[in-house]
Amino acid sequence: MSTLAVTPRRRAGRTGSLLAGSFLGAMLLAVVFAGVIFPEGYDAQDVTRRFAEPTWFGPLPLGTDELGRDLLARVLYGGRPALGISAVAAVLATVLGAAAALGATLGGRPWDGIIGRIADVQLAVPTILIALVVLSFSGSGTIPLIGVLTVGSWVLTFRILRAQLAAVVALPYIEAARLAGAQGPTLLRRHVLPAAAPLAVVALTLNFSTALVLESSLGYLGLGIAPPRPDWGQIVASGQAQLAGAWWISIVPGAFLVATVVSIQIVGDRIADLLTLPGSQDGTR
Amino acid sequence: AVTSGTTAGSEQDSSLVIGISRKLTSIDPAEGGSIDGDATLARAIYSGLTYYDPELQLRGELAESWTQDDDTHWTFVLREGVTWSDGSPFTAEQVVRNFERFLDPESTLGNAAAIRAIISGVTAPDDGTVVIETNGPFIDLPDRLAHFFLVNPDFLQAHPDELVALGTGPYVLESVDLENGAVLTRNPSYFGEAPEWERVEYRVLETEAARVQAAQAEEIDVAIQYEPASLELFADSDVYATGNQWSSWNNTLRINENVAPLDDARVRQALNYAIDKQALIRDVVGADVEPLAGQVLSDPYDRVNPDLEAYPYDPERARQLLAEAGHADGITIELGLSTGSYVAQDPVSQAIARQLGEVGITVEITNQSFPNWVERTRSADDAPALYYIGYTSGYRAPAERLRIYTSGNGQSHYSPPDAVYDDLVTRVTAATTPEQQQDLVNQATAHYREQAHAVFLWPQPLTYVVRKDLEWTPRPEHWLVPQEFRSRS
Amino acid sequence: MTLSRPLTAASEDLPEAAPPLVSVRGLRIATTGGAPLVHGVDLDLDAGTTLGIVGESGSGKTLTAMAVAGLLPRGVVVTGGRIAVDGRDVTVRSPAERRGLLRDTFGVVFQNPAVSLNPRLTIGRQLREALPDADRRNRGRAWRRSLELLEHVGVGRAAQRLRAYPHELSGGLNQRVVIATAIARSPRVLVADEATTALDVSVQQQVLDLLDRLRDELRLGVVLVSHDIGVIADRAGRVVVMQGGEVVEHGGTGDVLDRPRDGYTRRLLAAVPRLDTPSPAGPPADAPVLLSGHDLVRDFPVAGGRGARLRAVDHVDITLRAGQALGVVGESGSGKSTLARILVGIDPGHHGTLTAFGEQVTGRVPARRRMLRRVQYVFQDPYAALDPRQTVAESIAEPIELAGTRDRRGRVPGRVAELLDDVQLARDLGTRLPHELSGGQRQRVVIARALALEPDVLIADEPVSALDLSVQAGILDLLTRLRAERDLTYLVISHDLAVVRGLCTDVLVLHDGVGIEQGPTDAIFTAPTADYTRRLLDAVPGRSRQRSSSVPHPATPRKDNP
Amino acid sequence: MTAVLSPTGPPGPPAGAPPSPARPARPRWPLSARYVLSRLLNAVLAVWAVLTIVFFAMHMTGNPASLLLPIDASEEEIARLTAALGFADPLPEQYLRFLGQVLTGQFPASIRHGGDPVALVLERLPATLLLGTWGMIIGASLGLAAGAVATFGRNRRLRRVPISVLTALEAVPSFFLGIVLIAVFSIALSVLPLRGAGTPAHLVLPAVVIGLALAAPVARVFRTSLQESTGAEHVRLAEAKGIGRAQVVLRHIVVNALAPVLNVLGVQAGVVLGGAVVTEAVFGWPGVGQLATSAIDSRDFPVVLACVALIAFGFVLVNLLVDLAAAILDPRGGRR
Ligand SMILES: Nc1ncnc2c1ncn2[C@@H]1O[C@H](COP(=O)(O)OP(=O)(O)OP(=O)(O)O)[C@@H](O)[C@H]1O
Ligand SMILES: Nc1ncnc2c1ncn2[C@@H]1O[C@H](COP(=O)(O)OP(=O)(O)OP(=O)(O)O)[C@@H](O)[C@H]1O
Ligand SMILES: [Mg+2]
Ligand SMILES: [Mg+2]
């Protein structure tokens, strides 16, 4: 099967990545402290102010929805499942993918074959379809969502790291280290893992953004976090009918989603840039 | 009406585009399906022995007339000269075979059980008459048959597992795609008055967004099941009129009494007292409906118990009842919703959660896809403590409406089973006169209100968007019958 | 540019009136950013002659040659001077003019035949592309011309080769194809930039012979760029020596190489390992055997071939005695590295018996471990043998740390400093990462690391092949010194016979995995018994100029050599 | 010999040359039968594994019988129908029965539609293929164009703009992109139909959504491989032949850079198929994705299984084709 080309998306400029990083940071803070900013919660209804337009800098900066709920509150609270679930899934997927890659690289032929096959099978079915099957039958709780997103993302990590590890393990310096007496865990810790770590970090950001997109897609299809708890994809879906009138209900959370995904990618690319060893011979990024 | 693009010309080749809010499940009317989905299509392709006219008067369709011979025997005289849309004659023997499909004990048809519960046998003494024998007295039989469509059994046998249909209705099925809709054309050999539209297109618009946008793009002539909030989008429309009215669909929160402390009637009553139905209707539902009067029946569609009243909004009383039941410091229960099934369900549920919260009942709302939700509501140990549900029917038969709430129903979870109510409903079914039936209905509903086995809400609003140049009387059952649309010119 | 002299005076054989085929005056090349790279080069080239350009890496040889052909890489431009062909100034070329010159006047051969051809296209298509328009357009004619060309450059079974892809041919054949494309339009100047460096000695010789033949037959002017002075000595009539973007010396090859006037040229020539240096004396015949392999065999599965195997090492016997410095020589692919890997015990799949320090190792893990302490390996490629994330000190310290004893660990920093001293690296280099080092420095780090555990035997795979001449000389000196100071026993692999001659007491010649002969270096170099060894020695460039002089000629055996 | 080499001289056939200059067509199959077989085996294995996983995932959690009945059905009725449809049997038994049916080429009948689910899926396949193909075409052309501009564009600042735009668009989840496009083109401007299929106009928005998800990776990989092949040594040799710039660029740079793009397209086939699920939902496109979604909704197990099997098989097949094409583009490929 063809290998995934991991080419940097963009040359992450200093200012661009700074901007993206600050946006991510500010948003994470706001999401984490949503409870402090909006102590009344995401569900404070007030029918007298239904479909209030965004004032941007006044009260109700992002307007309200069909129940008169503050959209900013909903977007910030909605970031919790969206970001939280995706982040956990991304970490799990990276760990799982890395473990699988290590197992395939160091476990010898049979393991390589088995894990590779599993990855091939997994790749052959669109994740979203697996997610639909599982979630529509298991119900869409946090745990099944994390499970589905993890299952959907680990292959990418596995493939990237598998290729990298295969290249690294074949490098003379690994053999040289072996001759110098490094074996098993020592070899892993001293030479193999450090070589794979930067790419794992990149894979982590990649997984984060794919998981976020998938999570919100599921939310949009009604298989994500169930209302009344808000979730980005779900808010977008809930406002879709009102696009012509109260466009902000859909567009604002959607824009947050897009901005977040872009920021994660920019930051990820920047990390990749920074981790690249200048002049390194082993193709390590 | 949207004129079909392919046949634009001088001909009066008109078509009607109807948005339906659910996927079709089958083309065989025996398989159940919802009234706003499959049954709406069936109503245009097939005919029944009886039907309700737009004023809700029961009339004969394929039956010219009927008489009750004794407590359990009814004779239906068939209309003469009726043919199937392929020109073959419609016969009494075919009617008999239609019923036999359901009466076969091995039948896997979705509606078989419901029919078998009422009817024990059907015969055709001659070509123009059919005699139906019921299990016991059942005075609502002609009403019941208004939602029983007759298919051509020979055709069905010849085309198993195919998405084709042969009926006697005003329209012929041209093509169907269960996920996306169907196209019908006028049946030239229809026995009744020819409908106005040459061609009818049903378009599946499963989501609110799809329905709203289809109207915004002016791609449909009519659709129902809009969220009340969406109707405001068309308030100033030149093209569409909107409506929001009562329907025959009665909504309640059903209660899983296996979940403590809901086995305590006082707690269930407290639930009923704690919800301000009037305010919710005013603020969220926005329809001209009245709260259910402490029963699962509603005026004017059903025969109701006129003596009952809705539980008033009385949070004090609710708190007091809770305290009496030993839950002064509150309880926490789940409210299970099925995604997108009922108009205004989400805002209503969230408002209900707030109101219940004020008397110390913390509500956790869960949302599931319809299939999963149905499954859960049917499992005694896993059903949500409360679940938002509405039942409708295509005919008026009080016994059938009340039976849904008896202990034997898959979605009833009473603790212990309510033998009194079950017995009363059995007797309603077997009533031999309307007066007797009314009396029993009164007893059953009064008992049920007292036990507060459910939280009584209100009839589900019928919301619609329809082209201003169309004349149409909305059907409380949610039928969208193409032959009932007329242009206003 | 002080050394620039009128060159015409030196071109003895030509009538004075005729302008040289190519004449370059005061050529300056700089990056578009303005950094000067070549500062005023003069050279002349006449039809039917070969002009050699030598100099160390980075001296500007390639840039000069490419500027003449008009093929400077992007980002580099000619900023001054004049390039003339037949006396006509072509310094500034429009794209069309440039293409015209490339079509009619210049043919170019690049260093690496493996990547010079488009892997996606057949040889035939690429040759056809190079043909003059008239031939190219007509399918049949193109086909016939291509056949002729291939045969002309000595590619057999030409019809079949035309349908082959580059990867299906050997390096030597590919380079012939490249040459065929270069002469396809009957150019008048052939620019060959390190055209044979990537090739094996024997193949190299054939390709250079081909260039000579074409030069004579077609009266080509050939610009031969090489850092291998032997090659230039054999092939070029005139030579230009470059350093730091300047020409430091030029003239007839014999003059320059025999009587270098410039200090740099002298140093350059001194650094060339000589095939005629006496080899160091070996240990007595009864010295203990440290390592020995008996009947070693190693097969590799051939990729894609069903069950087919490639025998990389074929029943080889080898012994290494204490105090020996054993050189293993042979062409590329003859199994040198594979044999070395077997000997250090990192090749799992071999057959035969390996004995180390009197103990049989094959199949015995503890014995292998004991052996690993006393035998160290220097990898072929110093670039890849260091973890790019470890500093020099960390790399060198690693074997000591891993070797265990606490008392040793305490003294790690001091030991690292000692080792850096040993290989003559400044101690403050210890904090650098490998990519911050030059090739020679890296190679020293690798050697220091191999010495860290004070091994008895050092196995070094091509320790100098990746390095510049002057750097190479430094490493060879280092190895010699270490042997003297530490009593190290060596096994050195090299395809460069001159290196082996100067470094090793004994030689093992490998050919296609088979051990051809083993014996004292001097004996084998002066009186090879095997045919193959003789051919190998004959192919070494530089043998054509067998003159006794003070200037080294790599292949000239010394008379006073026993 | 000199005469032979003269460009104007009559080309005499040299000794040893074949008498006829006509080039026999060389049938060179770029993939070995063994490779193709092993890949097909992989496909079968993938399909089997996927079927097994989905089978158990579905059967352990739900029972289609209860959905076939009216919502007010009684408990006994549900139990009766469950048994009648065979869903009451032990799971392994159902699984073996199912495998047996699949092996004999006959999927169990669709619960909702009645007929053979494979036929149903095949009926929907053209719509999905149409959408996917156009999505791929749009994505590939946009991506290739942007990659080419980024490499060959004259203006150093501006040439990266298209690729950046595509990369930004890639970050937009397809459901949201779909919504925005609908809002703009179907509702605000009313120039394109809202949802459904039938006319080419219906195809535009969903195909663009799929295409835009694809364009950025294509552009990135194309740009990288263009840059790699621009710097390749063989390009210098081609230039040294004095042939036209256009020829060098096209034959020696662009075509050489296409193989990695093909690989990306192969991997992205999964994205297209997966994206189809969402895109078909947003646009009401009557394809396999929609069928799968609604079959999942209605617990039509056989149809779900047929859809999943077909998609998995399609993915493997597409990648096999990609491998074939890549092998033709790059004769060195280690796929023999
Ligand atoms: N494209 C380029 N851009 C910038 N500097 C370059 C470029 N090409 C070569 N140089 C620099 O020009 C100088 C001369 O390079 P050149 O390739 O001519 O050396 P060389 O003598 O051929 O060396 P070698 O023996 O290693 O091939 C070097 O310092 C090199 O770094
Ligand atoms: N790991 C391997 N798998 C398959 N074949 C191999 C492997 N290692 C070496 N070979 C093959 O074995 C033969 C000998 O290789 P080896 O590396 O020992 O040659 P060498 O003499 O060191 O050549 P060079 O001078 O180019 O380094 C070659 O044909 C090579 O292709
Ligand atoms: Mg060079
Ligand atoms: Mg080697």
Angle between helix D117-152 and helix D301-329 axes, rounded to 10 deg? 40
Minimum distance, in Å, between the CA of residue A117 and any CA atom of chain B: 33
Q: Which tens digit of pLDDT belongs to each residue from A151-172? A: 888 888 888 888 888 888 878 8
Tokens 């990306």: give the residue.
D264
Going through C271-408 in order, the beta strands assigned E by DSSP cover: 289-301, 309-321, 325-329, 351-356, 359-360, 375-378
Give the residue ranges of chain A where pLDDT is below 70.
Answer: 1-13, 47, 139, 276-285
Q: Is the dihedral of CA D40, D41, D42, D44 positive or negative?
A: positive
Residue D242 touches chain C, beta carbons under 8 Å: yes
Minimum distance, in Å, between the CA of residue D190 and any CA atom of chain B: 7
Name chain C contacts of A185, Cβ cutoff 8 Å: none
Residue C253 touches chain A, beta carbons under 8 Å: no
Per-residue pLDDT at C302: 67
Which ligand is in closest contact with the Cα of C73?
Answer: 1
Cα B162 from chain centre: 26
Top-confidence residue, D77 or D200: D200
Please answer whether residues C275 and C541 qualify as being in contact, where contact means their C-beta atoms are separated by less than 8 angstroms: no
Which residue in the set D71, D182, D297 is minimally distant from B213, CB to CB? D182
Minimum distance, in Å, between the CA of residue D107 and any CA atom of chain B: 14
Name chain A contacts of D319, Cβ cutoff 8 Å: 1-2
Residue D284 touches chain A, beta carbons under 8 Å: no
Domains identified in chain A, total number: 1
Question: Which distant-in-sequence residues (6+ apart) come within 8 Å of C156 by Cβ?
Answer: none
Per-residue pLDDT at B344: 86
Please answer whether residues C224 and C211 qualify as being in contact, where contact means their C-beta atoms are separated by less than 8 angstroms: yes
Residue A134 touches chain C, beta carbons under 8 Å: no
pLDDT mean across residues, chain B: 88
pLDDT mean across residues, chain C: 82
Which ligand is in closest contact with the Cα of C312?
Answer: 2
Per-residue pLDDT at B75: 94
User: Distance between terminal CA atoms of chain A?
Assistant: 23
Residue D32 touches chain C, beta carbons under 8 Å: yes
| pLDDT > 90: percent of chain C | 12
Per-residue pLDDT at A2: 33
Choose from A236-250, C31-45, C544-558 the range with maximum mean pLDDT.
C31-45
Top-confidence residue, B161 or C165: C165
Per-residue pLDDT at C544: 52
| C380 Cα: distance to centroid of ligand 4 (angstroms) | 7
Distance CA D204, CA D209 (A): 9
Among C66, C343, C60, C288, CA closest to C189: C66
Residue A91 touches chain C, beta carbons under 8 Å: no
Comparing B252-266, C149-163, D198-212, the range with the smallest average pLDDT is C149-163
Pocket, ligand 2, Cβ cutoff 6 A: C 300, 310, 312, 330, 332-338, 495
The tokens for A262 are: 């872009």
Q: Which tens digit of pLDDT belongs to each residue from C259-304? A: 888 888 888 888 787 777 777 887 887 888 888 888 898 888 765 5
Per-residue pLDDT at C191: 92
A6: in domain: no
The tokens for A230 are: 């808000």
Tokens 């894609």: give the residue.
C304
Please answer whether residues B86 and B92 qualify as being in contact, where contact means their C-beta atoms are separated by less than 8 angstroms: no
Question: Which distant-in-sequence residues (6+ apart) come within 8 Å of C432 by Cβ?
Answer: C391, C392
Range of the domain at A260: 12-275
Among A206, A256, A209, A207, CA closest to A230: A256
Per-residue pLDDT at C51: 94
Nearest chain A residue (CA) to B349:
A228
Per-residue pLDDT at D141: 94
C20-120+165-270 topology per CATH? Rossmann fold (3.40.50)
pLDDT (mean) for D175-202: 86
Q: Which tens digit of pLDDT belongs to each residue from B132-171? A: 999 989 999 999 999 889 999 999 889 887 888 999 999 9
Pocket flag, ligand 1, residue C39 (CB < 6 Å): no
Per-residue pLDDT at C8: 40
Which residue in the set D81, D85, D286 is minimally distant from B180, CB to CB? D286
Contact A241 B213 (CB under 8 A): yes
Ligand 2 atom closest to C336 (CA): 21
**Residue C246 main-chain phi, psi, to 5 deg:** -125, 155
Q: Which of the four pLDDT bands, split at 50, 70 and 90, describes residue B267?
A: very high
Contact A179 C372 (CB under 8 A): yes
A238: in domain: yes
Among C295, C292, C290, C331, CA closest to C313: C295
Distance CA C491, CA C507 (A): 9
Q: Which tens digit of pLDDT belongs to each residue from C99-128? A: 888 888 899 988 777 788 888 888 898 999
A4: in domain: no
Per-residue pLDDT at D2: 32
Comparing A9-18, A76-85, B89-98, B332-341, the range with the smallest average pLDDT is A9-18
Please answer whether residues B460 and B248 qualify as being in contact, where contact means their C-beta atoms are separated by less than 8 angstroms: no
Please answer whether residues D263 and D218 qualify as being in contact, where contact means their C-beta atoms are separated by less than 8 angstroms: no
Torsion angle of C-alpha atoms C423, C427, C430, C434, degrees rounded to 10: -50
pLDDT (mean) for C233-240: 90
Distance CA C63, CA C52 (A): 14
Q: Which of the four pLDDT bands, split at 50, 70 and 90, describes residue D104?
A: confident
| pLDDT > 70: percent of chain B | 97
Please answer whether residues B393 and B263 qualify as being in contact, where contact means their C-beta atoms are separated by less than 8 angstroms: no
Q: What is the 3-state secondary structure (H, E, C) of chain D?
A: CHHHHCCCCCCCCCCCCCCCCCCCCCCCCCCCHHHHHHHHHHHHHHHHHHHHHHHHHHHHHCCCHHHHCCCCCEHHHHHHHHHHCCCCCCHHHHHHHHHHHHHCCCCCCCCCCCCCHHHHHHHHHHHHHHHHHHHHHHHHHHHHHHHHHHHHCCCCCHHHHHHHHHHHHHCCCHHHHHHHHHHHHHHHCCCCCCCCCCCHHHHHHHHHHHHHHHHHHHHHHHHHHHHHHHCCHHHHHHHHCCCCHHHHHHHHHHHHHHHHHHHHHHHHHHHHHHHHHHHHHHHCCCCHHHHHHHHHHCCCHHHHHHHHHHHHHHHHHHHHHHHHHHHHHCCCCCCC
| Residue of C402, C415, C453 to mutate, testing the A interface (most A Cβ within 10 Å of its Cβ) | C402
pLDDT (mean) for C202-207: 82
Which residue in the set B354, B368, B369 is minimally distant from A45, CB to CB? B354
The single-letter DSSP state of residue B221 is S
pTM confidence score: 0.80
Minimum distance, in Å, between the CA of residue D172 and any CA atom of chain A: 5
pLDDT surpassing 50 at residue C553: no
Per-residue pLDDT at C409: 62
Pocket flag, ligand 1, residue C75 (CB < 6 Å): yes
Residue B105 touches chain D, beta carbons under 8 Å: no
Distance CA B364, CA A229 (A): 10
Side chain identity, residue A213: V
A201: in domain: yes
Residue D292 touches chain A, beta carbons under 8 Å: yes
Per-residue pLDDT at C404: 67
Distance CA D179, CA D188 (A): 12
Give the CATH number of domain C289-539; options: 3.90.1580.10, 3.30.1330.60, 1.10.3720.10, 3.40.50.300: 3.40.50.300
Tokens 């706001």: give the residue.
A30
Q: Which tens digit of pLDDT belongs to each residue from B48-64? A: 999 998 888 999 999 99
Which ligand is in closest contact with the Cα of C510?
Answer: 2
Per-residue pLDDT at A7: 46
Distance CA C256, CA B352 (A): 102
Measured from the Cβ of residue C297, the count of other Cβ atoms closer than 10 Å reads: 16
What are B77's strand-pairing partners? B65, B129
Top-confidence residue, B317 or B35: B317
The tokens for C165 are: 């892809």
Question: Mind listing the domains of chain D with CATH numbers?
Answer: 33-60+85-334 (1.10.3720.10)
Nearest chain D residue (CA) to C102:
D242
Among A33, A154, A40, CA closest to A100: A154
B·D CB contacts under 8 A = 103
Which residue in the set A176, A190, A194 is minimally distant from C385, CB to CB? A176
Comparing A79-88, C168-177, D213-222, the range with the smallest average pLDDT is C168-177
Which residue in the set A175, A177, A278 is minimally distant from C398, CB to CB? A177
pLDDT (mean) for C227-246: 88
A·C CB contacts under 8 A = 65
Question: Which distant-in-sequence residues (6+ apart) come within 8 Å of C134 by Cβ?
Answer: C141, D7
Q: How far is CA D225 from CA C112, C343, D253, in A?
A: 21, 41, 9
pLDDT mean across residues, chain D: 79
| C288 Cα: distance to centroid of ligand 4 (angstroms) | 28
Q: Which tens digit of pLDDT belongs to each residue from B384-395? A: 999 999 888 888
Q: Give the residue, by CA position, lying nearest to ligand 2 atom 4.
A: C300
Which ligand is in closest contact with the Cα of C37?
Answer: 1
Side chain identity, residue B328: A
Name chain A contacts of C386, Cβ cutoff 8 Å: 173, 176
Neighbors of chain A by Cβ distance (3+ pairs < 8 Å): B, C, D
Q: Which tens digit of pLDDT belongs to each residue from C331-358? A: 888 888 889 888 887 777 778 888 888 8
| pLDDT > 70: percent of chain C | 91
Residue B177 touches chain D, beta carbons under 8 Å: yes
Among B191, B192, B215, B190, CA closest to B205: B215
Contact A213 D173 (CB under 8 A): yes
Name chain B contacts of A47, Cβ cutoff 8 Å: 283-284
Per-residue pLDDT at C550: 38
Distance CA C331, CA C530 (A): 15
Neighbors of chain C by Cβ distance (3+ pairs < 8 Å): A, D
Please answer whether residues A261 and A216 qualify as being in contact, where contact means their C-beta atoms are separated by less than 8 angstroms: no
Which residue in the set B179, B204, B217 is minimally distant from D190, CB to CB? B217
The CATH 3.40.50.300 portion of chain C extends over: 20-120+165-270, 289-539
Pocket flag, ligand 1, residue C59 (CB < 6 Å): yes
Q: Which of the four pLDDT bands, split at 50, 70 and 90, describes residue B18?
A: very high
* Helix (H), strand (E) at residue C235: helix C229-235
pLDDT surpassing 80 at residue B98: yes
Q: Which tens digit of pLDDT belongs to each residue from A94-126? A: 999 999 988 888 877 788 888 888 887 787 777
